[in-house]
């Protein structure tokens, strides 16, 4: 792996996060909320409000406030919540850990199911297996998260009563109950991911199987399994990696809906509560942390892409 390529991607991630921080800070500044009034209450005196604004630096210029906030973020200090009076950083990072756990299980389930389904559909193109995979994929892509969530709750939690419908139990406290509470949210998120990725794998693998170098490998007498997994699948997975990275963005957006439906205390639910209560530091922290997570996921996807196709490093 070229160090120059890695450095270039790191610089791009840093530049992206800097722009995102500007946008997030600017949006929160135009929201109709006064931090001093929210912390002291509407009955606070003008002197008390002025003193708190001076203490928090709210009487400084916008650029000075942004610089002070950004310096705190770089130190890991996201400020104090207007709603609870507690530091925002630890709360958001704990919530992020829960969301990442949900996303990790969803991605693992997606890879375990989507790759074999896509391969089977491509190898058996035009047959019943291909048709079934295509139908399942179209249904999965068509269902929004709240519909899928309703269906899995009705079937698995209400009718069959196999799993709890809502709630969260930390895995450190009770691993079995924690996993049981995660099953329905993971299934809800994974449905559209499996549908999306399996279609992509099938489409790319069909194209690769008709290329000249795959035909040449077959003419050499190589076993079908070797041709498929060593030559065809490796190149078919390149666009799939990009799609998986883009699906991280879907996860960050879709997880907000899923966490609210299943009452999971993840970063999406924390962000919703912050928006409802106009808790500006929590909104800023939540939005920036989610953007940073997406940027890091994209960076890792670029590295994986470059590992599979070394020509990327020199573009």
Instruction: Dump pLDDT digits (tens) for 86-106.
Output: 889 888 888 888 888 888 898
Tokens of 301: 């996807």
* Phi, psi values for residue 80, rounded to 5°: -115, 135
CB 280 within 8 A of CB 56: no
Q: Tell me the pLDDT tens digit for each residue of 234-266.
A: 777 777 777 777 677 667 666 778 888 888 888
Distance between CA atoms of residues 248 and 259, nearest Å:
16
Residue 315 is predicted with a pLDDT of 55
Burial 27-66 (b: 16+ CB within 10 A, else e): ebeeeeebbbeebeeeeeeeeebeebbeebeeeeeeeebb
Q: Which residues of the chain have pLDDT under 70?
A: 1, 31-46, 48-49, 52-59, 231, 246, 249-250, 252-254, 308-315
Residues 6 or more apart whose CB falls under 8 angstroms from that of 277 comprise: 82, 83
* Phi, psi values for residue 87, rounded to 5°: -55, 135
**pTM score of the predicted model:** 0.79
CB 249 within 8 A of CB 295: no
Which domains are assigned to the chain?
3-75 (no CATH), 93-308 (1.10.3720.10)
Distance between CA atoms of residues 6 and 87, nearest Å:
34
Tokens of 78: 């996201």
Nearest to 290 by CA among 92, 73, 40: 92
Residue 56 is predicted with a pLDDT of 62
Distance between CA atoms of residues 288 and 21, nearest Å:
6
Distance between CA atoms of residues 257 and 106, nearest Å:
15
Residue 312 is predicted with a pLDDT of 61
CB 187 within 8 A of CB 108: no
* Phi, psi values for residue 238, rounded to 5°: -60, -55
Residue 201 is predicted with a pLDDT of 85
Distance between CA atoms of residues 223 and 124, nearest Å:
17
Residue 53 is predicted with a pLDDT of 64
Residue 1 is predicted with a pLDDT of 60
Q: Which residues pair with 87 in a beta bridge?
A: 80
For residue 130, the surrounding DSSP H or E stretch is helix 128-142
Distance between CA atoms of residues 90 and 87, nearest Å:
7
Nearest to 123 by CA among 188, 46, 214: 214
Distance between CA atoms of residues 141 and 147, nearest Å:
12
Nearest to 187 by CA among 95, 261, 294, 266: 261
């Amino acid at each position: 792996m070229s160090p120059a390529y890695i450095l270039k991607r790191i610089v791009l991630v840093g530049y992206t996060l800097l722009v995102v921080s500007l946008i997030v800070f600017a949006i929160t500044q135009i929201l109709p909320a006064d931090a001093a009034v929210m912390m002291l209450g509407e009955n606070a005196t003008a002197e008390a409000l002025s003193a708190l604004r001076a203490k928090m630096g709210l009487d400084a210029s916008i650029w000075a406030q942004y610089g002070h906030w950004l310096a705190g973020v770089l130190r890991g200090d996201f400020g104090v919540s207007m709603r609870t009076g507690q530091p925002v950083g630890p709360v958001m990072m704990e919530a992020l850990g829960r969301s990442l756990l949900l996303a990790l299980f969803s991605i693992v389930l997606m890879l375990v199911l989507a790759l074999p389904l896509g391969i089977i559909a491509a190898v058996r193109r035009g047959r019943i297996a291909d048709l079934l995979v295509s139908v399942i994929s179209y249904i999965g892509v068509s269902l929004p998260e709240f519909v899928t969530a309703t269906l899995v709750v009705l079937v698995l939690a209400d009718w069959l009563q196999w799993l709890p419908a809502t709630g969260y139990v930390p895995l450190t406290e009770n691993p079995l109950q924690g996993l049981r509470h995660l099953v329905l949210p993971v299934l809800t998120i994974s449905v559209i991911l499996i549908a999306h990725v399996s279609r992509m794998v099938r489409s790319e693998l069909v194209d690769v199987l008709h290329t000249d170098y795959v035909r040449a490998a077959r003419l050499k007498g190589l076993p079908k399994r070797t041709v498929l997994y060593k030559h065809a699948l490796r190149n078919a997975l390149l666009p799939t990696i990009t799609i998986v990275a883009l699906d991280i963005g879907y996860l960050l957006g879709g997880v907000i809906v899923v966490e609210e439906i299943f009452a999971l205390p993840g970063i999406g639910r924390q962000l919703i509560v912050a928006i409802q209560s106009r808790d500006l530091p929590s909104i800023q922290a939540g939005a920036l942390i989610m953007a940073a997570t997406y940027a890091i996921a994209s960076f890792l996807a670029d590295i994986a892409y470059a590992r599979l196709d070394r020509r990327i490093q020199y573009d």
